[in-house]
A and B are shown apart, each in its own frame.
Chain A
Amino acid sequence: MYTSLTNRRSFIKKMAAAAAMTAAATMFPGIVFAKEQEAGIPSGNLDWKKGPCRFCGVGCGILVGVENGKAVAVKGDPNSSVNKGLLCVKGYHQTMCIQAKDRLEHALVKKNGTYVKTPLNEALDLVASKMKETIEKHGKDSVAMYTSGQSTIPEGYVASKLMKGAIGTNNLDCNARLCMASAVAGFLTTFGADEPMGCYEDFDYADYYVTWGNNMAEMHPVLFSRMLEQKNKRGSKIIDFATRTSRSSAASDKSILFEPQTDLAVGNAICYEIIKNGWVNKTFVEKHCNLSKGLTNMGYGLEDNYSFTDKPEKINFEEYKAFLEDYTPEKVAKISRVSVKDIKYLASIFGDPNKKVMSLWCMGVNQHTRGTWMNNIIYNIHLLTGKISQPGNGPFSLTGQPSACGTAREVGTFTHKLPKGVVMNPEHRELAAKIWKVPVERIPAKPTYHTTEMFRAVDRGDIKFIWTQVVNPLVSLPRTSRFRPGMEKDSCFVVVSDVFPTPTTDVADVILPASWHIEKSGLYGNSERRTQHWDKMIEGPGETTPDAWMTIQVAKRMGYGDLFPYSEENHVEEIYNEYRQFHEGKKHGMAPLEVLKKESGVIWPYVDGKSTQWRFNAKFDPACSNGEDFHFYGKPDGKAVIWQRPYEPAAESPDEEYPFWLNTGRVIEHWHTGSMTRRISVLHKAMPHSYVEFHPKDAKALGIRNGEKVKVSSRRGSCVLPASINERGLPTQGQVFVPFFDENMLINDVTLDAFCPISKEPDFKKCAVKIEKA
């Protein structure tokens, strides 16, 4: 009896202690988590170095454990407010790919059809002389550079300076065109200023998360976990609006499925309901919004040299209301297969003035032949209800790549961009010329090739030299069935900088060995405008060299040495300090490097030593100057634009011959084209190859069993993959889904190179295919 009593007493005591501890743990789970992870790491001479994660645009802070010059462990950075110590499976194992046996350690030059190991200096000589020779023979616009949303800020900056400032061509674009261009066009048309107004802290205040065609559980897992935490703790609700039932749908409070492309109509129906039920925030709309319409029936950019310029025209509220009459829930339910009840439910979430709502989207909205319109429509919903730029309330456009914001969008590695502004604007050209110390006439005022058109130009023979960095276009472009033979042609000299061999290095004339992420210093900028710096953590193997330094070396060899006076040891710092001058001021001020070295990332605009978490809101943003609560200072009159954007069908819809929609995307285990993650054994074993997902009813009708090989073909090409039924995801009936990471099963041979005419971003989510047993 006696023993049992003490047992009970100590049990109760322990219970109380444990309860207190776990209560603290659930309040700050990430922080406790990182500590606990550390407990599993043997104590040694581990040196923890901070940086941002290499995989995805969330921008989690990581700490890499370095022992005797080798990266041996990775944990989440508890000081980073992004992830609070938590990572995902890719993040935890990221450094393992460095040890891959087929790492590109030396420069390779193709001689008589075989690759010959060449000293890096010689290879760079060859690249520079080829580039120079091509310009002399065929003009400036015959050379091009194609970079990446995974390039660091210095890498993007020197690429832009070399092409636009030194050579004087706008032939520079990057793979962010394939993922973020519609988001950018959406921001610029609606607000006149790129990148989200809110930040990740919004997650902690929102009552509803509406995800538009976005499988965050796999693509933005750390942010999704933040949502799940709020769901459990505060009862926030996740509404999944998608064309495929995914892991995110399983965790959501409501999953609403729609027919591909009809999101435009459903978005307009939500606006219709908001106006009809009197849920419009009238003072907000009157004070802070204009209404406009643009051209319609824009086409799909399928033909070479297609061009389009929108012609905005102001409208009044009555005209907009009349336009929405075509989008009553009853009419939209017919084309979208979303029930009237669900459309009204969605509208009521936004309409409730007492509920804070976050909209979240990524590739479903952006990779869309009407991607700019779809971005505009989501902003319309938030502007009509005034749910924007406040903690917990706002549209949040997520990015895919670690520096799609920091490099592609802010440094501006697009054909039309400059580090500040666009090439079309003479003031912006002048600023660039001044900082770069080049004559202003050298920067051409006309944009040239966006990504799809750039590779079409390679195929046509217009581009005779192309240098790709940090990118694998022959897996990631749409319609690789055209672009692979295009790049194989002798008419174009192909230089590829990469870390591992890929289908793109396979067609290269020169392969340059790049340093991996932690083998160099750099800066990334994530989805919430957070700039993050890291110092080189370990030495790379062989002659591997940072991409920025290889670009500088080529520039010097071409005779532009005076424009690139950077030192090998300190170039990252020197370049960043030069770049910062572009963004001075309250609207986009970047934090000084000393601050970035200390902190786990800092959000811009960084004004008077403080991050601006909610832009355009006078309470938080010192750049607001109109004396009102909100100031959309990106537009000259300080007002955001509500755009009248109709529903238009997809570029290619299923028909009798090609009866299925093809949707492509990612899986949690692999990063984009898998060139890194497939070399991490843990990730490869969890997801060894691609597959094609069917709805069980479609599979039954076709007589296809799980695992059976099937051939997916379109008018462009075909691909053989194993069928997957009821595994990772469940597409709607009449649709198949294929992850694009697998270079051995190239689904992009099948996809269509149609793009949004405004943003020029291709639609990887919709084309027509037929299915046969292979």
Chain B
Amino acid sequence: MKKRLGIISLFIILFIAFIAVWNFSYQIGKEEAYIPFERSTEVSSIIPSEKGVFERSEHALDYANMPVDENHQRSLKHYYDNRAYHGAPPSIPHPIKDEMTIGANTCLKCHENGGFTEKFNAYAPVVPHPELVNCRQCHVPTNASGVFRPFEHRSVVAPKAGINNALAGSPPIIPHQIQMHENCLSCHAGPSAPKEIRVTHPERINCRQCHVPNNKEMTDIGTFKRAISNE
């Protein structure tokens, strides 16, 4: 009898211990699962990276001396139409030969330096970030028309060309953000550049000498304010 009571109480102790341990680890687990997300209260930095600022500048004189092929010019509308919204990665508007290959072997052959493609009767746009070769991570083809279910999407208003000068005749500011496309010449020079935004002076490769970002898309930072003032 004593022995049986001992065994039962041992099991009871084990059972209580189990519940306690389980409870404890459950609570710990719950805490661990919650990783607080620290939101920075400071204004995010709006100074763009200098990365790639002089890339493709070795082609600047070629760009300057290249004649304009008026029959095969892209327009800014065409440029924007190929994107879900302004700033989104463009989709692939042409059929793709091989679904298995990525980047360097295929896409970059045409898109690293551009050039005329007989088959599509167009100049291939130049990629501003050729170092990222997993192209189809972001760029997908359009294989169907229409939508799965109707949706509402308010698109970002895309900047317009020709209205970005602070003074009459002053160099236009950069009206878009430049992350992933810090290299100006890839979109603004050469035969694939949309005609409205093709630079007339690609040989001036130090673009940000005259054109500075003014990124209303991110934050409007207002005018300069003095922190301390006696007035």
Binding site for B on A (CB under 8 A): 7, 11, 14-15, 18-19, 22-23, 25-26, 29, 32-33, 36-38, 40-42, 65, 72-75, 86-89, 92-93, 95-96, 102, 115, 217, 221-222, 224-225, 228-229, 232-233, 246-247, 250-251, 501, 503, 506, 668-669, 674, 678-679, 681-688, 691, 705-709, 722, 724, 726-729, 743-744
- Contacts of B211 on A, CB cut-off 8 Å? 89
With A26-B64, A86-B204, A687-B47 as given contacts, are A501 and B231 in contact (CB-CB < 8 Å)? Answer: yes
CB pair B200 A36 closer than 8 Å: yes
> Complex Cα distance A674/B227, Å?
14
28 contacts between A and B (CB under 8 A): A11-B69, A11-B71, A19-B65, A19-B67, A22-B64, A22-B66, A26-B61, A26-B65, A32-B201, A40-B165, A65-B168, A73-B169, A229-B203, A232-B205, A251-B53, A668-B208, A668-B209, A678-B224, A684-B224, A685-B212, A686-B212, A686-B214, A688-B221, A706-B45, A724-B45, A743-B226, A743-B227, A744-B228
Interface residue total, chain B, C-beta cutoff 8 A: 56
> Complex Cα distance A672/B66, Å?
40
- Contacts of A96 on B, CB cut-off 8 Å? 166-167
User: At the interface, yes or no: B145 with Cβ under 8 Å from chain A?
Assistant: no
**Chain A minimum-CB-distance residue to B205:** A228
Over the window 45-58 of chain B, the binary record of Cβ atoms lying under 8 Å from chain A Cβ atoms (1 yes, 0 no) is 11111110110011
> Complex Cα distance A232/B165, Å?
29
B38-94 interface with A by 8 A CB criterion: 40, 42-51, 53-54, 57-58, 60-61, 64-71
CB pair B49 A727 closer than 8 Å: yes
- Contacts of A669 on B, CB cut-off 8 Å? 212
> Complex Cα distance A274/B204, Å?
36
> Complex Cα distance A251/B56, Å?
11
User: At the interface, yes or no: B171 with Cβ under 8 Å from chain A?
Assistant: yes
CB pair B167 A727 closer than 8 Å: no
A722 CB, nearest partner CB in chain B, Å: 6
- Contacts of A705 on B, CB cut-off 8 Å? 40
CB pair B209 A41 closer than 8 Å: no
- Contacts of B71 on A, CB cut-off 8 Å? 7, 11
CB pair A684 B223 closer than 8 Å: yes
User: At the interface, yes or no: B229 with Cβ under 8 Å from chain A?
Assistant: yes
> Complex Cα distance A102/B201, Å?
37
**Chain A minimum-CB-distance residue to B58:** A232
- Contacts of B42 on A, CB cut-off 8 Å? 707-709, 722
- Contacts of B228 on A, CB cut-off 8 Å? 503, 506, 744
CB pair A92 B171 closer than 8 Å: yes
User: At the interface, yes or no: B210 with Cβ under 8 Å from chain A?
Assistant: yes
- Contacts of A26 on B, CB cut-off 8 Å? 61, 64-65, 203
B119 CB, nearest partner CB in chain A, Å: 17
- Contacts of B206 on A, CB cut-off 8 Å? 217, 221, 224-225, 228, 247, 251
B10 CB, nearest partner CB in chain A, Å: 50
> Complex Cα distance A159/B17, Å?
91
CB pair B50 A75 closer than 8 Å: no
- Contacts of A93 on B, CB cut-off 8 Å? 166-167, 170
CB pair A728 B47 closer than 8 Å: yes
- Contacts of A40 on B, CB cut-off 8 Å? 165, 168-169
Over the window 194-226 of chain B, the binary record of Cβ atoms lying under 8 Å from chain A Cβ atoms (1 yes, 0 no) is 000000110111101111111100000101101
A443 CB, nearest partner CB in chain B, Å: 38
CB pair B47 A691 closer than 8 Å: yes
Apart from A72-B167, A251-B54, list 13 A-B contacts with CB within 8 A: A36-B200, A36-B201, A65-B168, A73-B168, A73-B170, A93-B166, A225-B204, A233-B61, A247-B208, A251-B53, A681-B223, A685-B221, A707-B42
CB pair B231 A115 closer than 8 Å: yes
> Complex Cα distance A722/B47, Å?
11
- Contacts of A729 on B, CB cut-off 8 Å? 50
CB pair B167 A74 closer than 8 Å: yes
User: At the interface, yes or no: B173 with Cβ under 8 Å from chain A?
Assistant: yes
> Complex Cα distance A96/B57, Å?
31
With A224-B209, A506-B229, A726-B49 as given contacts, are A95 and B167 in contact (CB-CB < 8 Å)? Answer: yes
> Complex Cα distance A18/B63, Å?
12
CB pair B57 A708 closer than 8 Å: no
- Contacts of B47 on A, CB cut-off 8 Å? 687, 691, 724, 727-728
User: At the interface, yes or no: B230 with Cβ under 8 Å from chain A?
Assistant: yes
B145 CB, nearest partner CB in chain A, Å: 31
With A217-B209, A691-B45 as given contacts, are A679 and B65 in contact (CB-CB < 8 Å)? Answer: no
B219 CB, nearest partner CB in chain A, Å: 9
> Complex Cα distance A19/B215, Å?
36
With A14-B68, A29-B201, A75-B169 as given contacts, are A707 and B231 in contact (CB-CB < 8 Å)? Answer: no
- Contacts of B61 on A, CB cut-off 8 Å? 26, 232-233
B182 CB, nearest partner CB in chain A, Å: 11
CB pair B50 A250 closer than 8 Å: yes
- Contacts of A728 on B, CB cut-off 8 Å? 47, 50
Binding site for A on B (CB under 8 A): 40, 42-51, 53-54, 57-58, 60-61, 64-71, 165-171, 173, 200-201, 203-206, 208-215, 221, 223-224, 226-231
**Chain B minimum-CB-distance residue to A687:** B47
> Complex Cα distance A727/B54, Å?
15
CB pair B212 A89 closer than 8 Å: yes
Nearest 10 Cβ contacts at the A-B interface: A686-B212, A15-B67, A41-B169, A744-B227, A678-B224, A221-B209, A18-B67, A707-B45, A40-B169, A73-B168
- Contacts of A228 on B, CB cut-off 8 Å? 57, 205-206
- Contacts of A72 on B, CB cut-off 8 Å? 167-168
> Complex Cα distance A115/B206, Å?
45
> Complex Cα distance A501/B227, Å?
12
CB pair B44 A29 closer than 8 Å: no
A618 CB, nearest partner CB in chain B, Å: 37
Partner of A682, one of B67, B168, B204, B212: B212
CB pair B210 A25 closer than 8 Å: no
CB pair A25 B201 closer than 8 Å: yes
A507 CB, nearest partner CB in chain B, Å: 9
- Contacts of B64 on A, CB cut-off 8 Å? 22, 25-26
CB pair B40 A707 closer than 8 Å: yes
**Chain B minimum-CB-distance residue to A101:** B223
**Chain B minimum-CB-distance residue to A245:** B50
- Contacts of B171 on A, CB cut-off 8 Å? 37, 89, 92
**Chain A minimum-CB-distance residue to B221:** A688
> Complex Cα distance A744/B43, Å?
15
**Chain A minimum-CB-distance residue to B53:** A250
> Complex Cα distance A682/B203, Å?
24
With A14-B70, A225-B204, A726-B49 as given contacts, are A683 and B65 in contact (CB-CB < 8 Å)? Answer: no
> Complex Cα distance A92/B172, Å?
10
- Contacts of A679 on B, CB cut-off 8 Å? 223-224
> Complex Cα distance A225/B205, Å?
8
> Complex Cα distance A727/B46, Å?
9
B106 CB, nearest partner CB in chain A, Å: 30
B222 CB, nearest partner CB in chain A, Å: 9
- Contacts of A89 on B, CB cut-off 8 Å? 171, 208-212
> Complex Cα distance A74/B170, Å?
7
> Complex Cα distance A64/B203, Å?
25
CB pair B209 A23 closer than 8 Å: no
- Contacts of A707 on B, CB cut-off 8 Å? 40, 42-45
Interface centre among A14, A679, A686 (most CB of B within 10 A): A686
A99 CB, nearest partner CB in chain B, Å: 11
- Contacts of A15 on B, CB cut-off 8 Å? 67
> Complex Cα distance A102/B231, Å?
10
> Complex Cα distance A506/B230, Å?
6
CB pair B214 A88 closer than 8 Å: no
CB pair A29 B203 closer than 8 Å: yes
- Contacts of A251 on B, CB cut-off 8 Å? 53-54, 57, 205-206
- Contacts of A65 on B, CB cut-off 8 Å? 168-169
CB pair A682 B173 closer than 8 Å: yes
Partner of B40, one of A33, A683, A708: A708
- Contacts of B70 on A, CB cut-off 8 Å? 11, 14
- Contacts of B165 on A, CB cut-off 8 Å? 40
> Complex Cα distance A668/B213, Å?
12
